[in-house]
């Protein structure tokens, strides 16, 4: 059956992000942040996915698979065409946002001519005192080959004396923007332009004739032997250092740079024609995140996390969990209760053991600190640290070392697998407390990611969770899971069974319904099952934020929501002849999640909690303000009718009524 290509589908999602930057109803600074998100997303896409496709093509040159070589070439061509189309629109949107910000007296100077002459003294002082300390010009003419740092930006400077140089723009040491108040306006000056204005000080006696920005993306995927032996930490650290040496995946250059210089750079950087991508005057526009404006009309209105009156009144969160399960929805509800869960476990004298999985830790993790305290307080603490979490390897390693030094038992990545589960287990002599989540144990991302977390003492669930940890810590083979759905232990088969069960109900004339909410949907066999179930009369609703390889039709619709917060929770609903099974979990329906990771999905037993989740899903399915329909042409189609439902706003108001 027909499937969308995963990479082109992802580009469709990133265009949906760009649509938020176009939306006049979004506050101006937030629109600029969506520009930054789009830029950051696209950068990672080239560093990881495009580099991976290019690697496939390179393998094919050795005649391993001629057909794959053709497909890879075709796909790369399709990607570049789509990206170019999007970037043309991106430039126009950015220009509009910059003009509107200027109308609000916040001027982002996009050319040196826009910088008031009165700021000249301050900029010269800044250049002489700070900027020049980090500038390291390199002669292009004298170099046989050139080396550019991954993602770093440079100026190519040409002189009338027929000399050319590379000058680094040191954003790894200095802010990208300098902020100045002049008259009644605020000016934001690119670091690039601070250097441009004073480049003559770098090349005394020469006349500069051209200055153009360039940037090189490189393959950023770590090449780690999954069947590793020896010291994994050292291998990871070594590969992180090698990330800067990866193969080129995209060379961005200012469209006004001359052809002769481009040819010279291509030769000295050993670039292929397909590496060369026309860009604008400035690169790395994810740095727009650095611009902060306090004007309330330019940002989203403040939305304080909802506190639970039940949990607030109790002196012990563990005691409250003993009396009833607590389902929390972030960032609408306060993440403080998760911090309190770990903090109390670390000081409670009756707690004997704490087990946790980490995939992406916060840089200044309070949970990490509480686990260190627990170990120092004599508890047996074991942490499974995934050190293959892309771009978080270094931070995870640093935390692992810090916790290990404090007496925490740290177990690292498993051969051939990533552990993506978001779970924790606190053990007393006669009771166990479980945390089951859809998102990382990370208090920073909890402020902007929509996720769900369950705190429970359910004996069956916590016992099965203890089997998961025993497997991670000792390679123990657990008995069959009855409550939890665990990747590597029949998760794929269980989802297939649940779809087949709905088909049987439909065929026997009963009501049959499936609702799947995930970040990514790509696993081919499950998609084929959904197609089959739809044809047999099962009512299927799909809410997929990012990659979706399902091709929608009249009976199988796909909703995509991009709004203030990143939709990240995974929810699986099966009507089951009105028994209504609801699962939450860490697993997307991707090949990697179901076949190459350890994931934990968990049931919601409480009927009120089920209805709460179904209400949230109802808001999302009806969202006609920030929700779009994925079309059979892979477009983001806005609803035809005037928007009335905004899921994230409705969810916040609903939960405030329930718990506020």
State the catalytic residues.
420
Please give the structure tokens belonging to residue 559.
């909703």
Distance CA 70, CA 81 (A): 17
Nearest to 152 by CA among 164, 126, 134, 125: 134
- Angstrom CA distances, 519 to 13, 438, 481, 617, stand at 11, 11, 25, 14
**Per-residue burial over 135-166, b = 16 or more CB atoms within 10 Å of its CB, e = otherwise:** beeeebeeeeebebebbbbbbbbbbeeeebbb
Query: Among 165, 263, 175, which Cα is nearest to 210's?
Result: 165
Identify any residues that bridge with 559 across adjacent strands, giving them in sequence order.
543, 629
Q: Please give the Cα distance from 33 to 21 (Å, whole number).
A: 8
**Which residues are bridge partners to 138 per DSSP?**
166
Nearest CA among 111, 133, 290, 116 for reference residue 193 = 111
Residue located via tokens 């799947």: 516
| CB 629, CB 623: distance < 8 Å | no
- Sort residue 16 into left (φ over 0), alpha (ψ -120 to 50) or beta: alpha
* 208-218 and 248-254 beta bridge pairing: antiparallel
- Tally the C-alpha atoms within 13 A of residue 528's C-alpha that lie toward its C-beta: 4
C-alpha 513/C-alpha 579 separation (Å) is 11
């Amino acid at each position: 059956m027909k499937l969308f290509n995963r990479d082109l589908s992802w580009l469709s999602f990133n265009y949906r992000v760009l649509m938020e930057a176009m939306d006049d109803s979004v506050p101006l600074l937030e629109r600029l942040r969506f520009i930054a998100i789009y830029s950051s997303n696209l950068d990672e896409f080239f560093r990881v996915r495009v580099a991976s496709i290019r690697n496939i093509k390179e393998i094919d040159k050795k005649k391993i698979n001629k057909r794959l070589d053709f497909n890879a070439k075709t796909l790369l061509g399709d990607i570049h065409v789509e990206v170019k189309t999007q970037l043309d629109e991106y430039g126009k949107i950015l220009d509009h946002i910059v003009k509107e910000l200027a109308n609000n007296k916040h001027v982002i100077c996009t050319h040196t001519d826009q910088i008031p002459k009165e700021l000249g003294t301050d900029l010269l002082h800044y250049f002489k005192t700070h900027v020049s300390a980090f500038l390291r010009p390199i002669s292009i003419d004298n170099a046989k080959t050139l080396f550019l740092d991954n993602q770093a930006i440079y100026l190519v400077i040409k002189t009338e004396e027929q000399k050319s140089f590379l000058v680094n723009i040191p954003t790894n040491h200095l802010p990208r923007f300098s902020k100045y108040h002049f008259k009644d306006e605020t000016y934001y000056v690119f670091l690039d332009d601070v250097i441009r204005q004073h480049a003559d000080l770098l090349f005394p006696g020469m006349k500069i004739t051209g200055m153009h920005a360039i940037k090189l993306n490189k393959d950023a995927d770590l090449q780690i032997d999954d069947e590793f032996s020896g010291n994994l930490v050292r291998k990871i650290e070594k590969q992180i250092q090698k990330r800067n040496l990866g193969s080129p995946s995209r060379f961005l250059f200012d469209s006004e740079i001359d052809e002769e210089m481009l040819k010279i750079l291509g030769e000295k950087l050993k670039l292929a024609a397909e590496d060369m991508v026309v860009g604008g005057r400035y690169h790395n526009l994810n740095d727009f995140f650095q611009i902060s404006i306090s004007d309330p009309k330019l940002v989203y209105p403040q939305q304080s996390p909802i506190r639970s009156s039940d949990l607030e009144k109790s002196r012990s969160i563990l005691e409250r969990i003993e009396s009833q399960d607590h389902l929390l929805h972030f960032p609408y509800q306060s993440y403080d209760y998760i911090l309190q869960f770990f903090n109390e476990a670390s000081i409670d004298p009756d707690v004997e053991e704490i087990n946790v999985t980490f995939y992406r830790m916060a840089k200044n993790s309070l949970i990490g600190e509480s686990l260190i305290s627990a170990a120092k307080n004599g508890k047996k603490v074991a942490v499974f640290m995934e050190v293959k979490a892309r771009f978080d390897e270094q931070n995870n390693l640093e935390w692992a070392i810090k916790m290990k030094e404090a007496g925490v038992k740290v177990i690292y990545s498993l051969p051939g697998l990533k552990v993506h589960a978001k779970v924790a287990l606190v053990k007393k002599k006669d009771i166990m407390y479980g945390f089951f989540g859809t998102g990382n144990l990370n208090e920073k991302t909890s402020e902007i990611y929509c996720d769900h977390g369950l705190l429970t003492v359910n004996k069956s669930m916590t016992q099965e969770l203890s089997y998961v940890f025993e497997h991670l810590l000792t390679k123990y083979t657990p008995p069959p899971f009855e409550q939890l759905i665990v990747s590597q232990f029949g998760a794929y088969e269980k989802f297939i069974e649940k779809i087949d069960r709905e088909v049987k109900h439909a065929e026997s004339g009963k009501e049959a319904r499936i609702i799947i909410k995930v970040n990514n949907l790509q696993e081919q066999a499950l998609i084929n099952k959904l197609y089959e179930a739809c044809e047999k009369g099962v009512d299927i609703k799909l809410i997929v934020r990012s990659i979706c390889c399902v091709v929608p039709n009249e009976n199988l619709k796909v909703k995509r929501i991009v709004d203030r917060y990143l939709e990240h929770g995974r929810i699986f609903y099966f009507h089951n002849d009105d028994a209504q099974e609801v699962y939450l979990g860490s697993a997307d329906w991707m090949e990697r999640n179901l076949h190459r990771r350890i994931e934990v999905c968990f049931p919601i037993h409480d009927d009120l909690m089920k209805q709460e989740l179904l209400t949230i899903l109802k808001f999302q399915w009806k969202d006609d303000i920030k929700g779009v329909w994925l079309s059979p042409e892979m477009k983001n189609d806005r609803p035809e009718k005037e928007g009335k439902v905004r899921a994230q706003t409705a969810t916040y108001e609903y939960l405030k009524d329930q718990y506020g």
